[in-house]
Amino acid sequence: NAGVTQTPKFQVLKTGQSMTLQCAQDMNHNSMYWYRQDPGMGLRLIYYSASEGTTDKGEVPNGYNVSRLNKREFSLRLESAAPSQTSVYFCASSEAKGINTEAFFGQGTRLTVV
Amino acid sequence: SQKIEQNSEALNIQEGKTATLTCNYTNYSPAYLQWYRQDPGRGPVFLLLIRENEKEKRKERLKVTFDTTLKQSLFHITASQPADSATYLCAPTNSGYALNFGKGTSLLVTP
């Protein structure tokens, strides 16, 4: 089983460039999440989607947009990349019904903005 | 606002001892509390979930407690091994809500 797949795994951008991080899950989960992880800061929630067709801001949404394209896919877009967005980005999904709140994570995207 | 606190300092213990990690939360009442393990360069991996009406849960060498009065969870690894060295994250949560994590505690088990 693939689980949660993120692309790309590594990316270098110049300041001001745009890009979209892709995430897909094959577990028929309702909820999907985007996090960034920086040294000493832990996992910080950027945006999440509780179900297909809905998205909500997390702790650090500024500079990002998201699209829940369908139940499987949840993309994260940087419209104008800044060096402060250099980070490791993780996508996750969860069934998020009743006790089934366990999250499954992708392998991460290491993004460097120069 | 909701706040999740984990020991910020790394925990160093000797092989064979019990490691105890703490997770405190404020300003919400989670129905569940999850613990994850994260190895360098990888995404977190789910370990255990405990419900608000459960005092304790065990899985092999792992034990988790959940005290809703103290708003605290303790995560124990008994008979620790060097392979247990990793960062451990807690996530107090409610179904259908955003999944937020503590910053994690780094555990180093030395032979």
Using a CB-CB distance cutoff of 8 angstroms, which residues of chain A are in contact with residue B34?
101-103
Mind listing the pLDDT tens digit for each residue in A24-51?
999 999 999 999 999 888 899 999 998 8
Mind listing the pLDDT tens digit for each residue in B10-27?
999 999 999 999 999 998
Is residue A1 pLDDT above 70, yes or no? Answer: no
On whether any CB of chain B is under 8 Å from the CB of A108, the answer is: yes
Percent of chain B with pLDDT over 90: 81
Alpha helices (H) along chain B: none
Is residue B52 pLDDT above 80, yes or no? Answer: yes
Sorting pLDDT into bands at 50, 70 and 90, what band is B93?
confident
On whether any CB of chain B is under 8 Å from the CB of A79, the answer is: no
pLDDT of residue A64: 98
Using a CB-CB distance cutoff of 8 angstroms, which residues of chain B are in contact with residue A103?
34, 36, 44, 46, 91, 99
**Amino acid residing at B42:** R
Burial of A9 (0-12, 13-18, 19+ CB in 10 A): exposed
Mind listing the pLDDT tens digit for each residue in A50-82?
888 899 999 999 999 999 989 999 999 999 999
Q: Which residue from A16, A71, A66 is spatially nearest to A36, judged by alpha carbons? A: A66
Most A-contacting residue of B2, B25, B88, B95 (CB-CB within 10 A), to test interface: B95
> Per mean pLDDT, which range of A97-101, B36-40, B61-65 is the poorest?
A97-101
pLDDT of residue B97: 77
* Strand arrangement, sheet containing B19-26: B3-6, B19-26, B72-77, B62-67, B56-59
Using CB atoms, pick whichever of B44, B51, B89 lies closest to residue A99. B51
A 58-77 residues with CB < 8 A to B: 58-59
On whether any CB of chain A is under 8 Å from the CB of B28, the answer is: no
Cβ separation A107–B91 shorter than 8 A: no
Distance from CA of A100 to the nearest CA of B (A): 8
- Report, as an integer, the average pLDDT of B21-43: 94
Q: How far is CA B47 from CA A42, B26, B78, in A?
A: 18, 23, 15
- Report, as an integer, the average pLDDT of B89-103: 87
Distance from CA of A72 to the nearest CA of B (A): 17
How many Å apart are CA B25 and CA A20, to the nearest integer?
34
pLDDT of residue B2: 81
Reported as half-sphere exposure (CB side, CA atoms, 13 A), residue A114 has a value of 3
pLDDT of residue A38: 94
On whether any CB of chain B is under 8 Å from the CB of A104, the answer is: yes
Cα B16-B18-B24 angle, rounded to 5 deg: 155
